[in-house]
Structure 1
Amino acid sequence: MDILFIHQNFPGQYKHLAPALAKAGHRCIALTLRVKEATTWNGVRVIPYAVKRGSGQNVHPWVVDFETKVVRAEACFAAARQLREQGFTPDIIVAHPGWGESMFLRDVWPSARIGLYQELYHRATWPHLNFDPEFEKGDPDAGLLRIRLKNLNNLVHLPVGDMGISPTEFQANTFPSPYREKISVIHDGIHTDQVVPNADAVLELPDGSKVTRNDEVITFVNRNLEPYRGYHIFMRALPQLLKERPNAQVLIVGGDEVSYGSSPPKGQTWKQIFIDEVRGKISTPNWSRVHFLGRIPYDQFLSLLQVSRVHVYLTYPFVLSWSLFEAMSVGAAIVASDTGPLHEAITPGKTGDLVDFFDGDALVAQVSALLDDPERRAAYGGAARDFVRSNYDLSTICLPRQMDWINRLAACKPGQIGE
């Protein structure tokens, strides 16, 4: 088959699927903004497309996001037409619609089967909206309207896709009928034969010191340090946590940007805002045990998880992070927020503990209890690893299911979902 991948940051979620399809003998081409010149990656021909215009002036703030997506969709549409003129007609298009690129591909290739990565449909109801009132701004009624408009990209794409794929039930269940029935829940997959426990793991910290499994290490990981992932909750719990755990080293991973949710006040970062909020409550010796590592290479990230005695994971009702399953795969003891996405991964008292997202005292209590109970930590870690291997292993579970999804997509009749 001829297969076209569309992803702004290719390979993204197709890191394993695209090479597997190329290895199976399919001709695979990817359109992306990520590269500047055409190249070949793991058997996939990667072709760049360029955005040649910016956003317009004086656009209503509720539709700025959608306009950006239309600009990218137009650029991808032009690149797709050029491929068509060169004689390429894909049997299947596999696209992540999150940035808008795939919006007009049905217009270029009406007979192609299109499979979409359905990451999230924005719901204008609690807890999806107004989950954390601290960061809600302006008129709440207007917020309902804004979130509905945020779904414009989703709404345009829903009739475009013949089938969908979503990594978790929570994410898939945000989509309305009849589109939910078209979505298969298949996770991207975890390399559980590589993401493994390691009793000899060592992580060197920025100050030159090293931590191992012999140290009391608490870890907290975000792509970016921001409220959507509970950074503010964790930081506000730090003063008490450091007092109760005088030997603990706290390792915090994450960048200074914003991946989700609202931006901080101009010229500031969420990271520094909450450092400033709690720093006066923490003595200098205790603060010396808090280590901000920024974004680190993957091998260091694995070592960090492997030396962790307790890994804290907090999130709004939103997309579940790969890092959680990677922490579980190395056998870390998890304390996580009692929010919808976690209910698929953490069985309280078996694969970890859940605490109310907003309850910093409960978070400190659960982390401390686990640190004082090595047998329970070991039981949690073993059960967590078994759970990930049984449900999210890349080679035995997820990739075979993804390949089956591709075969089912190839067999479907294109263009039915919007009829």
Structure 2
Amino acid sequence: MNILFVHQNFPGQYRHIVRALAKAGGNRLVALAIEEPSEPIPAGVTHVRYGIRRASATDLQPWVQDVETKTIRGEACATAAHRLREQGFSPDLICGHPGWGEMLFLRDLWPEAPILTYQEFFYQAHGFDYDFDPELQGIPSWQDCARIRMKTANLLLNLEISNWSVTPTAFQRSSFPPAWRSRLSVIHDGIDTHHARPRADAPPLTLPDGTTLRQGEPIVTFVNRCLEPYRGCHTMIRAIPELQRLAPEARLVIVGRTEGVSYGAVCQEGEWKDRFLAEIEGQFDPSRVHFSGHLPYKQFIPLLQLSAAHVYLTYPFVLSWSLLEAMSCAAAVVGSATAPVQEVIRHGHNGLLVDFFSPAELAASVAELLANRPLAERLGAAARATVLADYSLKPCLSRQLALMSLVASRAVG
């Protein structure tokens, strides 16, 4: 079977699928991407890069700028795909991430090819991430709502051209319009539970600032790709003084880039980290708070294996892999009582849930886990059991591959 993968930063979410297909053999695998591969590509996979050859216009009505950007990307990807077609390549299945526009015009090149899209989230002006935080977001104006509506144009066009779609969680599926949910399978990408596993003999880990962490220490971990309110950095930072009062020996490791954002609005007063640290200046011991910046994955999992308590906070938005990896390492988790987290964590069973906006509640729950190690161990063991049962790589990968076969054979869609 000829399979075309489309992802701007290939392999992205197709990492495990591509490895499995390449190992099994019998398929021709081709990938279209903008970036150089983010990791070694398996032998037998043809990786084709394409470039963006024009910039967005500067004088467009602001609401259509997102549409233009995605159209430019779609054109660039389709141009590269056209060259593949001219060389005789004809896919039996196209699998792609439509979020940046790359998938828009592939149906026009291969009208008969089944398309399976990886859908992450459908933007909504109300009830999800956009109007969740009254302090930092406020009530959206009708103009804000109009801009969000225009942002869904790419998603709706891709839903229309797809034979079928897949999304990682039931919460993410719930963000899509009801008319499309019946054509959306919920299958997680899968967590490598052998690699992300608890280790009683976890070796010491030295942070970029030279601090060495050791097993048995009261280490609290918090992870963002970029430190920003969408992932609760303001609540975490505001909780530091109270957490240190309740657990003065705790060592807090905050992982993530401190410049820019991944999802939400940029800080108008510098960087989010600095804004919220300024609020607690003089109220905490900075020698026990470590901002590590981005950590390579080879250090990230060892950090989770040392964690005595892991904090995960998020707006009602896409669920991070890092939460499930922490759970797979049997870390005791304190999570926000928001819908994506509540799908995974049941309070008192496999973690603790707190009000997203309450630094005091967060600090008290983390301190409870540090003081009550039998409770933390019980919650951590149940957290790993949850991942093993519902998110482990092997069964998730089997379901992903089975869905691909169904779409390719037109048994669904």
The aligned counterpart of 1:308 is 307
Structure 1 residue 261 corresponds to structure 2 residue 264: yes
Q: Which runs of 5+ in 1 are unaligned?
A: none
**Counterpart position of 1:401:** 399
Q: 2:229 aligns with which of 227, 234, 239?
A: 227
Q: Is the 8 A contact 2:159 2:165 kept in 1?
A: no
Counterparts of 2:232 and 2:153 in 1: how far apart (Å)? 27
Bigger shift: 172-181 or 112-121?
172-181
Partner of 1:357: 356
> Relative to 1, partners in 2 of residues 1:413 and 1:398: Cα closer, same or farther, differing over 3 Å?
closer
Name the structure 1 match of 2:337: 338
| Distance change >3 Å, CA 207–CA 193, structure 1 → 2 | same
Aligned-residue offset at 1:62: 2.2
Q: C-alpha distance in 2, partners of 1:382/1:137?
A: 39
| Number of residue-to-residue matches in the alignment | 408
Matched position secondary structure for 2:291: strand
Distance 1:58 1:3, change over 3 A: same
Match for 1:412: what amino acid? R
| CA positional deviation for 1:139 | 5.8
2:4 maps to 4
Which of 240, 243, 259 is matched with 1:241 structurally?
243
Distance in 2 of aligned mates of 1:250 and 1:244: 13
Supply the distance in 1 between the matched residues of 2:411 and 2:169 (Cα, whole angstroms): 25
**Which AA in structure 2 matches 1:369?**
E
Distance 1:196 1:351 in 2: 16
Q: Distance in 1 between matches of 2:215 and 2:344?
A: 24
The residue number in structure 1 matching 2:194 is: 193
CA gap 1:139/1:366 in 2 versus in 1, 3 angstroms: closer
Distance in 2 (alpha carbons) for counterparts of 1:312 and 1:345: 14
Give yes or no for contact 2:333–2:351 (8 Å, CA) kept in 1.
Answer: yes
Aligned residue identity for 1:259:
S
Q: Which amino acid aligns with 2:380?
A: G
Mapped partners of 1:353, 1:43: distance in 2:
45
CA-CA distance at 1:264 after TM superposition: 1.4
Deviation at 1:303, TM superposition (A): 1.3
Alignment equivalent of 1:277, drawn from 262, 279, 290: 279
Q: What amino acid does structure 2 have at the position aligned with 1:260?
A: Y
Q: Deviations over 1:351-376 (max 9, x none)?
A: 00101100111111111111111111
Counterpart contact for 1:19–1:43, Cα < 8 Å: no
RMSD (Å), alpha carbons: 1.6
Letter in 1 for 2:18: A
- 2:324 counterpart residue number: 325
Q: What is the SS of the residue equivalent to 2:179?
A: coil
What's the CA shift for 1:413?
6.9
Whole-Å Cα distance in 2 between the matches of residues 292 and 128 of structure 1?
26
Percent sequence identity is 48
- 2:83 aligns with 82
Per the TM alignment, residue 137 of structure 1 is displaced from its structure 2 partner at its CA by 6.4
For the 8 Å contact 2:333–2:352, the answer to whether it is kept is yes
Task: Map residues 38-49 of structure 1 onto 2, 5 A cutoff.
Answer: 41-49=42-50
The 1-side partners of 2:98 and 2:151 are apart by 13
- C-alpha separation between the residues in 2 aligned to 1:321 and 1:146? 25
| Structure 2 residue aligned with 1:19 | 19
Give the Cα separation in 2 of the matches to 1:319 and 1:139.
20
Amino acid at match of 1:387: T
2: CA distance, partners of 1:139 / 1:394: 39
Amino acid at match of 2:15: K
Contact 1:135–1:262 at 8 Å: present in 2 too?
no
Give the TM-score, by structure 1 length: 0.94
- Distance, in Å, in 2 between the alignment partners of 1:79 and 1:413 is 29
Give the distance between the partners of 2:152 and 2:244, measured in 1 at CA.
42
Aligned-pair CA distance for 1:40: 5.7
Secondary structure of residue in 2 paired with 1:279: coil
* Alignment correspondent of 1:146: 147
Residue 43 of structure 1, CA deviation? 2.5
Q: Tell me, what secondary structure is at the counterpart of 2:182? A: helix
Rounded Cα–Cα distance in structure 2 between residues aligned with 1:212 and 1:380: 21
- AA partner of residue 10 (structure 1): F
Structure 2 CA distance for aligned equivalents of residues 93 and 209 of structure 1 = 47
Which range moves more in the overlay, 337-346 or 199-208?
A: 199-208
Q: For 1:12-60, what per-residue CA distance to the aligned partner results, in whole angstroms no more than 9, with x for missing partners?
A: 0000101212333210000000129xx9634311000111001012122
- Tell whether 2:162 aligns with 1:161: yes
- What amino acid sits opposite 1:380 in the alignment? L
Could you list the runs of 5+ residues in structure 2 that have no partner in the other structure?
none
User: Quick check: 1:188–1:398 contact (8 Å CA) kept in 2?
Assistant: yes
Q: Does 1:293 align with 2:292?
A: yes
* Structure 1 Cα separation of the partners of residues 139 and 388 of structure 2: 45
Normalised TM-score (structure 2):
0.95
Seen in structure 2, the aligned counterparts of structure 1 residues 207 and 154 have a Cα distance that, compared at 3 Å, is: closer
Tell me the distance in 2 between the aligned counterparts of 1:142 and 1:208.
Answer: 48
Q: Does 1:130 align with 2:131?
A: yes
SS in structure 1 of the partner of residue 135 of structure 2: helix
CA distance in 1, matches of 2:319, 2:355: 17
Pick which of 128-137 and 6-15 moved more.
Answer: 128-137
Q: Distance in 2 between matches of 1:413 and 1:360?
A: 50
